[in-house]
A and B are shown apart, each in its own frame.
Chain A
Amino acid sequence: MLSVRDLTGYYGESHILHGVEFQIAEGEVVTLIGRNGVGKTTTLRAILGLLDRQEGSIRLQGEEILGLRTDRIARKGIGYVPEDRGIFASLTVEENLLLPPVVKPGGLTTEEVYGLFPRLKERRKSQGTKLSGGEQQMLSIARILRTGARLLLMDEPTEGLAPVIVQQIGSIIAELKRKGFTILLVEQNFHFASGVADRHYVMEDGKVVDMIPNDRLEAEREKLQQYLGV
């Protein structure tokens, strides 16, 4: 589905990514884990062509997308849940939900999305940023399910949320996996990540330094704790 090779990325003059490599197969849920500031968010932004400069190769279903303009990349079928959730204050909940254009056939209908997130339907007339943090996170995920995007990039969807909400988001991700979505998940919450993901890529200093299948987690626990500095 997605294959990233020798990816370098820059913000202005600062060189942030130093040859990131990883692959995701169709239908997989894969995490990028690593300490703060190692370049996880930057990697997601590079996939979408949002850095000042990026080089290397990013293939989506075999097609090179590095170098395309950001909106063209999105139209290849990539949905993005940004770290700050990206809810628009000048739009209602419903306008936020309907904002991303449908880019491929086969997305969920608005009714199906409301079925998954009944709370958003109740609050659809409210201003987007009047929602609670958890609801905003739900909205940020919900709005990319309509578009027909099959690859979802989620940047720390559980950050700063109460355990009960984290659990809900976990079951939503499991549900999306059942529906066949491919998900690249940036996570710091290791416990959460182990509950939803097939594999984990570990990042350090702008590089992927290791890959751990989910069923090897227990065995590699010590190594991982070193990577994460916990």
Chain B
Amino acid sequence: MIQDLLGIPPQALFGQLLLGLINGSFYALLSLGLAVIFGMLHVINFAHGALYMVGAFVAWLLMIHLGIGYWPALLIAPLVVAAFGVLIERTMLVRIAKMDPLYGLLLTFGLALVIEGVFRHFYGVSGQPYPPPPSLQGGTNLGFMFLPTYRAWVVVASLVVCLGTWYAIERTKLGSYLRAATEKPQLVQAMGINVPALVTLTFAAAVALAGFAGVLAAPMYQVNPLMGSNLIIVVFAVVVIGGMGSILGAVITGFGLGIVEGLTKVFYPEAANIVIFVVMAIVLLVKPQGLFGKA
């Protein structure tokens, strides 16, 4: 029945759709964090990709040096990245908090170069393999396609974490502090809330998401110092398309663009690498604040 959909073998179509969903999983996790950081700190965090890479490296180092496996790493690596985030925010970002956002962009851009440089110095540019945990190896034949278990896990884990983050921000008390402090930080502080601490916590949590994404990526791509810089450019395009304003918008745009990219690979492979940037250009022309952004 679905043998020859539009002249495309279903294996190829669903295979690319899955790949698109996987890419979308990373776009969503990373652009979500960027949107939250921008809302609260007015910083365009160029170090986000580097911190994603750090998450993957922490998982790899835990395995190599301490024999700590994937599941504990999935918790430990984000915490390590969060701690690093606290350090970055407390020692550097806090000093430029009242300056033009351009300073934040330059600072985090420099930071990304430094972090990546350090990892290149110690580990070179060749990728380090990281095996998926035994429970997630193998796959299932669904009839119309073969579904590798690990890839299915990545999509599910990302969706759950994204929706969990959305819930935490939009439906909890702590989230209401965060939303309020994004709008009027001084007034929230005048209510008795320690806004500087809230800002630190927000930054730490958002970069922890990047660290988490890094661990998810480790078994699929090789762990290497440049894995973040390749991804972050696309993620910035995703953020521009989605608009900075909305959490759910970042998630939907992330997954949506992953799928668009996957489908482009099926129907017009030549354009697959640039389709997101084409979409970005169109969105900027038609709705400059982004699909979900507030004007």
Contacts and interface: CB of A to CB of B under 8 A. Distances in A.
Interface of A: 48, 50, 69-71, 73-75, 80, 82, 86, 88-91, 95, 98-101, 103, 144, 147
B190 A80 contact: yes
Contacts of A71: 189-195
Contacts of A90: 179-180, 182-183
A125 to B, nearest CB: 13
Closest A-B pairs by Cβ, 4 of them: A74-B192, A100-B191, A90-B179, A70-B189
Contacts of A75: 192
B191 A91 contact: no
Contacts of A82: 187, 190
Given A74-B192, A98-B173, 4 more contacts: A69-B189, A82-B190, A86-B184, A88-B179
23 contacts: A71-B190, A71-B194, A71-B195, A74-B191, A74-B192, A80-B187, A80-B191, A86-B184, A86-B187, A88-B180, A88-B184, A89-B183, A90-B179, A90-B182, A91-B176, A98-B176, A99-B177, A99-B188, A99-B191, A100-B191, A100-B192, A103-B192, A144-B191
B11 interface: no
B224 to A, nearest CB: 39
A98 B173 CA distance: 9
B186 interface: yes
B246 to A, nearest CB: 10
Interface SS of chain A: helix, strand, loop or mixed?
Answer: loop
A82 to B, nearest CB: 6
A211 B189 CA distance: 31
Interface string B166-208: 0000000100110110111011111111110000000000000
A142 to B, nearest CB: 13
Chain B contact patch, size range: 10 to 19
Contacts of A100: 191-192
Contact of A101 (B182, B186, B193): B193
Contacts of B186: 50, 70
A48 B188 CA distance: 12
A144 B191 CA distance: 8
Chain A CB within 10 A, most for which of B173, B187, B195: B187
A50 B188 CA distance: 12
Contacts of B177: 99
Nearest to A77: B192
A147 B191 CA distance: 9
A101 B189 CA distance: 11
A201 to B, nearest CB: 22
Contacts of B193: 71, 101
A121 B187 CA distance: 23
Nearest to A50: B186
A64 B193 CA distance: 20
A93 B11 CA distance: 51
A91 B188 CA distance: 13
A48 B190 CA distance: 7
Contacts of B183: 88-90
B175 to A, nearest CB: 9
Contacts of A91: 176, 179-180
Contacts of A86: 184, 187
Given A88-B184, A90-B183, A70 B176 contact: no
Contacts of B192: 71, 74-75, 100-101, 103, 147
Nearest to B176: A95
Nearest to B180: A88
B243 to A, nearest CB: 14
Nearest to B294: A89
Contacts of A50: 186, 190
